[in-house]
Every structure is written in C-alpha cells, then in structure tokens.
Structure 1
Amino acid sequence: MNSTGAISSISVAVGDFNKDHRLDIVVVNNDTGAIDILVGRYEGFQNQTSYSVGSYPTSVVIGDVNNDTRLDIVVANTGSNDVSILLGYGNGCFENQTRYSVGSYPQSVAISDFNNDTRLDVVVANFRSGDVSILLGYGNGSFETQTRYSLDSYPSSVAIGDVNNDTRLDIVVANWDSNDVSILLGYGNGSFETETRYSVGSYPRSVSIGDVNNDTRLDIVVANRDSDDVSVLLQYNRGAITYEMSLAPGGGSSLRCVVIGDLNNDTNLDIVLANYGTNNVGVLFGYGNGSFENQMMLSTGMNSHPISIALGDFNGDREVDIAVANHDTKHVDMMLGNGQGKFAIQTSYEIDFDTPPLVMVSGDFNNDARSEIAVAYDGRDHVDIFVAYNHGSFETQTKYSVGSYPSSVAIGDVNNDTRLDIVVANFWSNDVSILLGYGNGSFENQTRYSAGSNPSSVAIGDVNNDTRLDIVVANWDGNDVSILLGYGNGSFEIET
C-alpha cells in the first residue's frame, strides 16, 4: 500500500469518462478558471450539508476509523494545526468533529494500519514544524495523542510502503529544504525508528515508491526541482540503500512533472519528465534492473514550458502515447508512440487555450477505445472537451461553463446510467457544478449548487452505503466540509 502527498498546485488525472476502454484527460489550470475536457472519439442538486472542521482544511481522506462499516472523514487543517475526525452514521450524516492536535502547518494526511491491530491509524506530514505526526486509532473513532518524529526539515511529500520487506509499513518523506529523503522504518506496533536520511537533488518536489528493478523490493524515486534531476534509490535492505543514482543531471531543467509507465512494451518501468526550463519532454527507458538509459528529448517548441504530462492510447493502436500541456504557449501537444520507444510528434495539431493549462486528465469518454483529454483552468469559467480521431489529434474543443475559479474536479456516474459525469468545485463562486454525461463524450449544461466558502477540493463516494454516489466538498475559507447525498438519479438531498 502506497500513499503520497506534496505541496503543489499542479496535478494530472487519468480516467475512462465514456466507457470505451480508452483513457481521457482532464487538465486543471489555476490561472484560467475553467476545465477543459479532451475526449477521444465518442436533474439537479439541492443545498449541501456543512460540517465545521478546523481552520483552512487542505487534505481530506475517507475511511472506516471506528470499524462500524460506515465511512468516516479525516481532515488536515493547516491554519489550526490539527486534524478533524467526523464519524459517519451510514446514512450520509456525520457527528460533529473531534479534533486532535498535530504539528505546525499539516500539509497532507493519510490513513493506514501501522500497528497491525486491524484499526486505522493516521499519519500527518507537518511542513513548518518539520516532522510527522502518528495518531494510533482505538478502533472506535478516537485516537491516541500524537507521537511526533522529527525530520529536521520541511516535509513536502510522503509515501507509505513496506520498503524493507518485513511486512511492516514504513514512511518515506521528501524533505524540501534539506535536499534529502527520510526513511522511518516501522516496528509494526505503531512506532517507528529514528529517521535515516539519504541525500537527493536540490529541493525534492515529490517522492514515489515502486519496484523499478523487478527484485520484489520497493525502490524510491524523487523528482528534484532545482537540480533538474531525478534521484533513484534502489534495493533498500536492512537500513541501507544499496545503490543510488542521479538521472538526467545535464538534460532537462526545472522538472515540473514525473510519470512512470512502460512505453516500449518490455515490461520494465520507464520515466517521463516534463522539463519546464528546456522546453522538452524527457523519456528514460528502464532496463528493469534499476538503471535507465540517458533521457531521450522530445521538443515541445521554443518557450513552450511543458508543465503537465498524461499517458494513454490517443489513436486507438493500443500503444502508449504522451500528451503534454505547455504552460507558456498555451496548448497541448500529442506524441504518438509505436510501442517500441519511438514517438511521432504531431506538430500539425495543437490544442490552443486562452490561458495556460495547468492540469490534464486522460480517459475514454465515448467508449471508442481511444483516449480523450479534459483540460481545466482558473478564471475562464468553462469546461472544454476534445475528442480524438484515429490519427491522434482531437476534434475542435467543446466548452462547458462552470463556476468561477474551478479548483478541483471529480468524475463518477452520479445518476447510475453507466456514463461518467463531472463534478467541479468552484472556488470563487462558492458552489459546485454538475455536468451529466451522455456517454458519447458530450455533457449536459452545468447545474450549480451552493457549497461552503471557497470550496477547494471535491471527492465522490458512497458515504451512506446506499449504493449511490455522494459528494464531499472541503471548503477552504469556511473551515468545514459539505456533504451532498445522492439519490442515484443525478439529484441530491436537501442539506441536514
């Protein structure tokens, strides 16, 4: 089980919006106030229920923390330096919050069972106090007082996994200011060893865990923003890193996005980088033993500044392609793969935007077995949808209006018609937009419903066990969480 978190406004999501077995892409941009949907060829809501939490909630997770088979909510509050626990009744309603102190400026929260008692525990990365808080669960919805483990830096990203193969969960943290990662080995009883630190590049932005050398042991991959490289730490065993390397030190610069996938069908994981400073995409093919080829550069054009990457099959040939969102030239490029590590850059086709794209999501919106793209921005107050043709380009965009300054997007079938719908949290207009999908890559016009003050994050899930999707919204300035219970037909109950 792996969990990650990082301080960043840039994100990429991939999903099948129209059930054609092809990936579609959604891109969110904080500068343009809109969401663009790029699609590969294919009743309303009432007021929400609000629950008070701490000051400036920034991270929300859902799980059954009291073992009653009902989903509960855990929120990290950066302004009040605590976490809020809201226990679910199983009918979509929640108890008032119980708050537990953590460190200063908690950035992310995750849930897992650290002491093997089948009860969920909470781990929080505290950016300003430079530590990690562990709150062990009693299994009844309450938690022990935090235990803090010093990291002596600013943790920017956290990953969880069993890195030493002892069946006990460990914690890996990327330390923003000290240019290293901390590994805290778990004893399996909820306590952890003192950190062991390993140097990486300058200002590590994010950390990920995976087996990149096929030895059944988890390895660590870190993207370093200022040193323009990726650190790979291999074969962690009994408290030591057997091998550490730096990749692409002289290639791209100002790394903004890292994704992993098998681009040449050799069953080995490869690395794809968005090199913002050098205006290209770097591809590092893996040998399957933890080492990688020198990066292959794919130009995105002068002053393009690529900022986001999504992988998918955009032309229906069952091979992995690359979609790149370019910040300064305000377009998305397609790089079509042949399954052997070669890519044809579609220079004749660009998806142009009025303002810089920030976030992309790829998936199949219209059930045609090809990937489509959805792009979101801030300030433009609409959604654009693009449909891919067989040659890997896209139809003219279709725009869908949403609220002001959309900040978060979630996708799910909220009306049980087997077609994916879109839910958008609109930060400035204090509402959410619902766009019901027709299953062919197009969507109905939005229906908007009030949320709390400055909704910053939205998630979809069945919180009351009625097999119907509900909506959970974290409200940044309102310091609360809004719950909208779904009827299963695209409408929701009145707030309680």
Structure 2
Amino acid sequence: MIKNFDLLVAIADANLVNVFLGYGNETFVQMNSFVAGILSFAIVSVDFNHDNHSDVAVANYAGQAVTVHMGIGNGTFLNRRTYISSSSPAALATDDFNHDQHIDWIATYCENNSISVLLFAVGDFNRDNHLDIIFSLFELDCFNIMFGDGSDAMLESRLFDINQQPCGIALYDLNDDNRLDFVRAHNFMDASVHLNTCL
C-alpha cells in the first residue's frame, strides 16, 4: 500500500495551521485550516494518544504556549489542548524520552535579554540508548549537546565552538561507523560536516 504524505503549514500572522493533503505525485491540495494560537511558530506531527492517527503540537510564540490538536484520521483535528509556558516557544521536537512508550515533547524558548535557542535536534550521540539534545546558541556561535539519562533529566552538556552563527542542523551517521554525526548550516550560505569521533 502506497502512503501519501500530507503537509502542515503554520501561518504565523494569521494564528492558523493550514492542512494540505498529498496525492503522492508531489502535488497537494488545501483541505482546511485550524486555529492554533497566537503567532504559531513551529509544528511537529506524531501520534500522541496511540490511536494510529497523526496529532499536531504547535509552538505559539506570542501566546507563550504549546497547543496539542488530536487528529481523527481524515485531515481534521479536535479542539486544542493548551499548555501554558512562562516563555515564548520557538521550536519543538518529539520522542519517547523516558522510555515509557508514550511520546513526549520538548520546546526551546526565546526571551528578551537571554541567549536564544533557535534550533535543535534529538538523537543518541553517545550510544547509551538514551536520547540526547543538540541545540544552537545563536549569539555565542556554538552548539551544545546535553546528554540524557532516560528520564526527564540531562546529566551533562558539552559545548562546541564553531565561530559562525548556526541556522540549521541535521543528524545522520554519515560515515557508517554507528556514531551519530551532524551537519550544520550557517548564515554564510554554506554547511559544515561534524563527524562524531569521540562520543
């Protein structure tokens, strides 16, 4: 059975998320929209409640909240559940961080007069079967890896100075050594490859 992927687009200035259904031939048609929150900034889609339907979590930057919308399997979503934050969420990621068979989500936040975390990714860098988090510290021109312990805590962190402002990140085992590497993009219109040789 061929699975056609669909598309979600956050419309920040309209506080909406647009749903586009895919035909499997690189074309999409807009099906509907739903209200997410104030200044919808980032989206992740995953099955939160184990019903085999894709749900959506949305970071609402100006609303200082993350909203979760449960899907019913036909491209529509139920009324949102709102999780209030003390700061403005800028990015989201999901995975089972504490090994309880339930999908969790994490968010990074931006505030005035603080270091902004604008992008991050999740993977097992030190091969201990616990998820770690790598994120950019934009103003400091560096990346930081925080190592997870399988609960909701992070044991330690390691800072990598790159002397350039990072604006994108992707994770993959690039040299087939069973270690997770990463590629970063930055503001000078190129990218750099970082091979994991010591974690």
TM-score w.r.t. length of structure 2: 0.76
Are the aligned partners of 1:207 and 1:223 in contact in 2 as well (CA < 8 Å)?
yes
* Counterpart check, 1:102 vs 2:36: yes
What is the Cα deviation at residue 85 of structure 1? 3.6
Deviations along 1:5-24, one digit per CA (max 9) or x if unpaired, are xxxxxxxxxxxxxxxxxxxx
Give the aligned partner of residue 204 of structure 1. 117
Q: C-alpha distance in 2, partners of 1:269/1:89?
A: 33
Deviation of 1:81 (Å)? 0.8
Report the equivalent of 2:84.
Answer: 150
Matches within 5 A, 1:63-212: 72-85=6-19, 97-177=31-111, 202-212=115-125
Q: Give 1:281 deviation, angstroms.
A: 6.0
Alpha-carbon separation, structure 2, partners of 1:93 and 1:210: 31
Q: Which amino acid aligns with 1:122?
A: V
| CA pair 75-255 structure 1, distance change in 2 beyond 3 A | closer
**Is 1:252 the counterpart of 2:186 in the alignment?**
no
Stretches of structure 1 that go unaligned for 5 or more consecutive residues are 1-68, 180-200, 289-496
Secondary structure at the residue paired with 2:72? coil
Equivalent pair of 1:112/1:121 in contact (CA under 8 Å): yes
* Cα offsets for 1:339-377 (capped at 9, x unmatched): xxxxxxxxxxxxxxxxxxxxxxxxxxxxxxxxxxxxxxx
2:121–2:170 CA contact under 8 A, matched in 1? no
How far off is 1:234 after superposition?
0.9
Give the Cα–Cα distance (whole angstroms) in 2 for the partners of residues 274 and 157 of structure 1. 17
Q: State the identity %.
A: 29
Q: CA deviation at 1:236?
A: 3.6
- 1:13 matched residue in structure 2: none
Is 1:233–2:167 an aligned residue pair? no
Larger mean Cα displacement after TM superposition, 82-91 or 111-120: 82-91
Deviations 1:209-238 (A, max 9, x none): 001010112111101111222221112433
Name the structure 2 match of 1:330: none
2:129 aligned residue? 216
C-alpha change, 1:150 and 1:144, in structure 2 (3 Å) is same
- Pick the structure with greater CA Rg: 1
- 1:325-404 mapped onto 2 (5 Å cutoff): none
Q: For residue 268 of structure 1, what is the aligned residue in structure 2?
A: 179
> Would you say the 8 A contact 1:220–1:234 is kept in 2?
yes
TM-score normalised by L of structure 1: 0.34
Unaligned runs of 5+ in 2: none
Question: Is contact 1:252–1:282 with CA below 8 Å preserved after alignment?
Answer: no
Question: CA offsets, 1:448-473, max 9 Å, x none?
Answer: xxxxxxxxxxxxxxxxxxxxxxxxxx
Deviation sequence 1:379-421 (CA, Å, 0-9, x none):
xxxxxxxxxxxxxxxxxxxxxxxxxxxxxxxxxxxxxxxxxxx
Mapped partners of 1:99, 1:276: distance in 2 = 33
Which has a greater percent of strand?
2
8 Å CA contact retained: 1:229, 1:246: no
- For the aligned residue pairs, the C-alpha RMSD in angstroms reads 3.7
Count of aligned positions: 195
